Structure 1
Amino acid sequence: MSNTVSVKELTSTLAVDIVYGQEFENIIIKSSEVSRPGLILTGYIDNYPHERVQLIGRTEMGFLNSKTSEERQEIFKNLCTVDTPAIIIARGMEVPQELIPIADKYQIPILSARSKTSRVLANVTNFLETYLAERVSKHGVFLEVYGMGVLLVGASGVGKSETALELVQRGHRLVADDRVELYQIDELTLMGEAPEILQNLLEIRGLGIINVMTLFGVRSVSRKRRLDLIIDLRIDDGTIEYDRLGYDHEYEKIFEVNVPKIKIPVKLGRNLAVIIESAAMNFRASELGFDAKEEFTRRLDALILSNREVEHD
């Protein structure tokens, strides 16, 4: 599913203000891309991305200031369309007077940002990509463990929320319980966050719903987190075989990203919180080049070689 975002949400989140067209603040932005309309200002309107937010920086403003008032009016008639969601003027520069009535005619809000143009472009693009990205909901408990985004999945009743509660008590952070919304940032990155109705809440069987931030403080929760690892908690009934040495690499593909996934058996007496902490640390160590199974392989090869040399002697 895809979210929508309005001009009002953009201005209330970023350091951007509506200076003209306050009554148009509920205009919906449909494209996550931001356009710097340099060629449009020169009169080249072929392939003009009119559905994007238009950003005017110092270079564009310098070009506009070199034109007469009548020429600027003609330029802004090309720039403004019924599909243009907003026009942003960067660096706090003064809005050209010729733009105001034309933008008003097409119901386009004019925004002002104090930051330099490249920063405004980056901030607005990141904001729009986050809010307009395609999303998928996945059942599970999402946590930040040692700075890594760890998603606990498994059958209902396997103990995901209870394990999450113990991890929070041990100093880790809750991102989402029961359901996490995932969206793709780039070809390597998935971000996850809780639906608004579930933020900071954790359901414990027999206890009910608790507010983690209220009980454990603001440091016990995280608004969003990159997904680094999926841990599949499986009830150990003796029928499932597990990779004892960690040589098998399993991944789950979400959108276009392959996320590493490991299976952990659940049975009476196992401290899942400690095991998950160890899994996260071991995964981080392997990412940094410290792989325990490779060390074991080297030791095993050395032992085999040593035994062969003894036999030859």
Structure 2
Amino acid sequence: MAAIVRTSDLLDNFNLTLVAGEDGINREIITSDISRPGIEMTGYFRYYPKERLQLIGKTEMTYFLELSDDEKRSRAENLCTDITPGIVVTRGMTVPQVLMEEANKAGVPILHSPRKTTRVISRLTNYLEEKFAPSTAIHGVLIDIYGVGVLIIGQSGVGKSETALELIKRGHRLVADDNVEIHQEDYESLVGNAPPLIEHLLEIRGLGIINVMTLFGAGSVRSNKRISMVINLENWDEKKQYDRLGLDEDTMKIMDVHLPKATIPVRPGRNLAVIIEVAAMNFRLKRMGVNAAEEFSERLTMMIENEKNLGE
């Protein structure tokens, strides 16, 4: 479901003050793009992106104050449309009376900020980008293991939550159990979190719902984590050939991002928590340029070449 963001949400999350246009405080913001109406201050409104949040900094305000009274009225009237979600005035600058009058007429909220323009743009953009980021939900468990976000998936009853419990006991941190909400923050980054209803909770068959933070402390949970790899747990199939060297790198596509995926067969006697823990450490090593499988393959190739040379 797409996020619904209203101008009132900005007041709740940032150090902003409403100075005019209170009637439109619940207008919907439909895009994360923020516009600085510089060319519009000159009177050119043909391509005015009126559906965006408008931000007036020192440059725009200085130009506006140098206009004649009629020009100020005209610019203010054109800036305040029936779909403009709001106008943010930065640096603690005094909002001109004519702009407040037109904003009140059109119901366009004017939000006042004491902070610098670049900082306001940065924080608002990050907030809106997060709200409008593509998202999905996956059935699984997300754990932070040695700083690596590991998404554990598999069919129901395979032991995902039980494995997560063992990992938590070993000092790792739970992000989400059962339902992982995933947001694509940029082209190659996925961030997962738990829905508010089940945050910090873990379901163990036979025990029921347990609160991980209450049992193991605040250090055993975190609110969100970037997903780095996927572990797929599946029941052991005697007929299936499993990768024994680690040379074949499988991936899983979530939205537009391809994540490395490892399939771990489950059967009695296998310590899944330790295996997943080692998989996370091995992933970190690969990112540092150390690949044990490739090193073994190179050693094997070298040994075969040496045997051939000795035979000749």
Smaller-chain TM-score range? Answer: over 0.9
User: C-alpha displacement at 1:161, in angstroms?
Assistant: 0.9
Measured after TM superposition, the shift of residue 27 of structure 1 is 2.3
Decide whether the 8 Å contact of 1:136 with 1:183 is kept in 2. Answer: yes
Give, in whole Å, the separation in 1 of the partners of 2:162 and 2:36. 50
CA RMSD of aligned residues (A): 1.7
**What residue is the counterpart of 1:31 in the other structure?**
31
Q: Is the 8 A contact 2:22 2:108 kept in 1?
A: no
Q: Take 2:107 and 2:254, find their aligned partners in 1: how far apart are those partners?
A: 39
The change in CA–CA distance for 1:64 and 1:185 in structure 2 (over 3 A counts) is same
Count of aligned positions = 312
Matched, 1:2 2:2: yes
Q: CA separation of 1:23/1:79 partners in 2, compared to 1, >3 Å: closer, same or farther?
A: closer
* Offset at residue 135 of structure 1 (A): 1.7
Q: Give the deviation of 1:157 after TM superposition.
A: 0.7
Query: Could you say what secondary structure the match of 2:262 adopts?
Result: strand
TM-score normalised per structure 1 = 0.94
Report the counterpart of residue 301 of structure 1 in structure 2.
301
Do residues 173 (structure 1) and 195 (structure 2) align? no
State which drifts further: 99-108 or 150-159.
99-108
Q: 2:14 maps to which residue? A: 14
- 2:45 — aligned with what? 45
CA shift digits 1:176-224 (9 cap, x unpaired): 1111111212211112221121212111111111222222222222222
- Aligned residue type for 1:241: Q
Cα distance, 1:10 vs. partner?
Answer: 2.4
Q: CA 1:66 to 1:196, structure 2 compared with 1: closer, same or farther past 3 Å?
A: same
Q: Is the 8 A contact 1:161 1:202 kept in 2?
A: yes
CA deviation profile, 1:132-151 (whole Å, cap 9, x unmatched): 22321111111212112211
1:69, 1:170 → 2: CA distance?
70
Cα deviation for residue 234 of structure 1 reads 0.8
- Residue 99 of structure 2: aligned partner: 99
- Aligned residue for 1:161? 161
SS at match of 1:178: strand
Q: Which amino acid aligns with 1:14?
A: F
SS at match of 2:233: strand
Unpaired runs of 5+ residues, structure 1, are: none
* Residues 126-174 of structure 1: CA deviation (Å, up to 9, x unaligned): 1111112232111111121211221110011111111112222222221
TM-score by length of 2: 0.94
The share of aligned pairs that are identical, in percent, is 49
Query: Aligned pair in 2 of structure 1 residues 21, 208: CA closer, same or farther (>3 Å)?
Result: farther
AA aligned to 2:48 is Y
Q: Which runs of 5+ in 2 are unaligned?
A: none
2:148–2:280 contact (8 Å) kept in structure 1:
yes
